[in-house]
Amino acid sequence: MKKNIFWITIAAALISGISSCNSTTEKKTEAKTEKQEAYQCPMKCEGEKTYPQPGQCPSCNMELVKY
């Protein structure tokens, strides 16, 4: 009886370990963040604030650069 419990515990640990090694969700989030572009004021007059599209900084009117 003790041997059965031991082997069931080992099998459960192996199965959970193998299933947790799946990294497809990591790859999906990396792909999404790579496609997004951010633009920022080169003078950083608004700190680390970024914008989704190019244009001019609302504070100093400088051209936003790719972040």
pLDDT digit string (tens) for 27-54? 555 555 556 899 999 999 989 999 999 9
Q: How confident is the model at residue 1 (pLDDT cuts 50, 70, 90)?
A: confident
| Residue pLDDT, tens place only, 9-20 | 888 887 877 666
DSSP state, 1?
A: -
Q: Cα-flanking dihedrals φ and ψ of residue 63, to 5°?
A: -70, 130
Helices (H), the chain: 2-20, 24-35
Question: In whole angstroms, what is the distance from residue 34 CA to residue 47 CA?
Answer: 22
pLDDT at site 61: 93
Q: What is the residue whose two structure tokens read 């244009």?
A: 55
pLDDT at site 52: 94
